Amino acid sequence: MQVTVVGCAGSFPGADSPASCYLIEHDDAAIVLDLGNGSLGVLQQHIDLTRIDAVLLSHLHVDHCIDLTSFYVFRRYHPTGVLPAIPVFGPTDTAQRMAAAYGLDADPGMAGIFDFRAIGDGQGGPARFEIGPFVITTTPVVHPVEAYAIRVDAAGHALVYSGDTAPTPALTDLARGADVALFEASYLDGMGNDGVHLTARQAGEHAAAAGVDHLVLTHLVAWHDRAASAREGSAGFGRDVTLATSGLTLTLGSH
Ligand SMILES: [Zn+2]
Ligand SMILES: [Zn+2]
């Protein structure tokens, strides 16, 4: 299983990275976790967009979902004809929100282009489902809107993406024993008691408690000092952490 960081800028696109987007590939299967602002462009550096089997949206803040409207254009108006609908897993009102963002009537909205499904149990609870070779486990996390952390298991390896969340034992439980944690680190020490995001140190502490092999800090906000994120994240984790960059590729099981 291979993961490519397409976008890792927190809350808004940065000069050197789109907002949140991660490409996961195994054998010939490919899924995308989040499609934040600017990500659909850079995603094309890493994969032919027609090869994407499914999209998973952690939550409906713009920096995680808005480029689904551009992916709609790509699929709806493709020169070879309308491309077959692919599943989009998201919070309960994803279909309506995406239709509104694009200026479509809610019915039919983007039906026929995307097959919208709940990323949780449909009532804000956890879920487990399969997409090709990937076993997906999701759990609700702590954020001002319905939001999920996402675990992807394939071929005996696991990756866990936090989405956006304040500190929560649910994230540690989901990440237990994972090879790679992609945890958001929006804040630095002295911030982050507002129930919205993790500090880099808290991301490290959650990953250490989960026994994760490799922590990649992501959702890094352009106006913060990256060196401070690395220092505080490593202190929380007890080992060195990696700072996500657009284009970073990790192969699980070989690091
Ligand atoms: Zn965000
Ligand atoms: Zn958010």
pLDDT in tens, the chain (255 residues): 999 999 999 999 999 999 999 999 999 999 999 999 999 999 999 999 999 999 999 999 999 999 999 999 999 999 999 999 999 999 999 999 999 999 999 999 999 999 999 999 999 899 999 999 999 999 999 999 999 999 999 999 999 999 999 999 999 999 999 999 999 999 999 997 789 999 999 999 999 999 999 999 999 999 999 999 999 999 999 999 999 999 999 999 764
Tell me how far the alpha carbon of residue 39 lies from the centroid of ligand 1, in angstroms.
13
Tell me how far the alpha carbon of residue 61 lies from the centroid of ligand 1, in angstroms.
6
Ligand at minimal distance from the CA of 10 is 1
**Domain that residue 48 falls in:** 2-251
Tell me how far the alpha carbon of residue 229 lies from the centroid of ligand 2, in angstroms.
19
CA distance 96 to 109: 7
Tell me how far the alpha carbon of residue 154 lies from the centroid of ligand 1, in angstroms.
26
Ligand at minimal distance from the CA of 145 is 2
CATH number for the domain that contains residue 114: 3.60.15.10
CA distance 8 to 79: 31
Is the CA virtual torsion 50, 35, 90, 72 positive or negative? Answer: negative
Tell me how far the alpha carbon of residue 122 lies from the centroid of ligand 2, in angstroms.
19
Cα angle value 95/159/181 (rounded, 5°): 105
CA distance 11 to 28: 31
Tell me how far the alpha carbon of residue 147 lies from the centroid of ligand 2, in angstroms.
8
How many structural domains does the chain have?
A: 1
Tell me how far the alpha carbon of residue 230 lies from the centroid of ligand 1, in angstroms.
19
Tell me how far the alpha carbon of residue 38 lies from the centroid of ligand 1, in angstroms.
13
